[in-house]
Amino acid sequence: MPTFVCIYCGYEYRGDKPPEKCPECGEEESFEEEIEAVEEEMQEEFEDEEPPQKEEEY
């Protein structure tokens, strides 16, 4: 589940989509998805896959 962070006060909200208004500071449309949360989800999704092999250059 994604984590959204208010760009004004840092309030964190976990859910499928952010609220219209921040419950902490009251700003509207102030949420952005937290990068670390996206990275964690990607790692979990691809944890069983082998990393791509780098081709040798001649």
- pLDDT tens for 9-29 read 999 999 989 999 999 999 999
For the whole model, what pTM was predicted? Answer: 0.57
Q: How much is the pLDDT for 3? A: 87
Residue 54 pLDDT more than 90? no
Over the chain, what is the mean pLDDT? Answer: 82
pLDDT for residue 24:
95
**Angle at 2 (CA atoms; ends 26, 49), nearest 5 degrees:** 160
Sign of CA dihedral 11, 23, 2, 6: negative
Determine the residue type at 30. Answer: S
